[in-house]
């Protein structure tokens, strides 16, 4: 399976934008890039996913490099509730189930 590399931790100030990087140099053409986050004492929750083009939703934006070897999750205005572990995951999209392979993730700390 293609692997992802993320910083162990990052810090941000409240109400400022946050850019969470992810490297995936061995990504294949059929791998989708997914982001999930896990708040303290909760199960992971879906944030966003994309293939080639940048994506936006109500939670975040996903910027994908042209060569797809890296991507960045963007939180436009961090809040204290965004403090969580953020996981970047590569996964093939098919109808046979999409088991997720989590790495260590990035622990985001948000300072008031």
Tell whether residue 53 is a contact of other proteins (CB under 8 A).
no
Give 18 or 88: the residue with its C-beta nearer to other proteins.
Answer: 88
65 φψ region: left (φ > 0), alpha (ψ -120 to 50), beta (else): beta
Exactly one of 69, 98, 109, 111 binds other proteins (CB under 8 A); that residue is 98
Exactly one of 10, 21, 44, 74 binds other proteins (CB under 8 A); that residue is 44
Give the pairing of strands 9-13 and 106-111: parallel
- Using the structure block, give the residue that is written with the tokens 């046979």: 96
Give 67 or 96: the residue with its C-beta nearer to other proteins.
Answer: 96
The helix or strand, by DSSP H or E, that contains position 71, with its residue range, turns out to be strand 70-75
Exactly one of 30, 69, 93, 111 binds other proteins (CB under 8 A); that residue is 93
Counted residue by residue, the chain has a size of 112
Residue 95 token pair: 């109808």
- What sections of 1-112 are H helices per DSSP? none
Tell whether residue 112 is a contact of other proteins (CB under 8 A).
no
Tell whether residue 105 is a contact of other proteins (CB under 8 A).
yes
Give 40 or 112: the residue with its C-beta nearer to other proteins.
Answer: 40
Binding residues vs other proteins (CB under 8 A): 32, 41-46, 49, 85, 87, 93, 95-105
């Amino acid at each position: 399976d293609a692997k992802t590399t993320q910083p162990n931790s990052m810090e941000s100030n409240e109400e400022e934008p946050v850019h969470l990087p992810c490297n995936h140099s061995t990504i294949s053409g059929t791998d989708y890039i997914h982001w999930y986050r896990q708040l303290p004492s909760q199960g992971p929750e879906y944030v966003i996913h994309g293939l080639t083009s940048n994506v936006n939703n109500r939670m975040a934006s996903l910027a994908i490099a042209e060569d797809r070897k890296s991507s960045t999750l963007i939180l436009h205005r961090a809040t204290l509730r965004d403090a969580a572990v953020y996981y970047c995951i590569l996964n093939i999209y098919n109808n046979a189930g999409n088991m997720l392979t989590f790495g260590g993730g990035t622990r985001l700390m948000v300072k008031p």
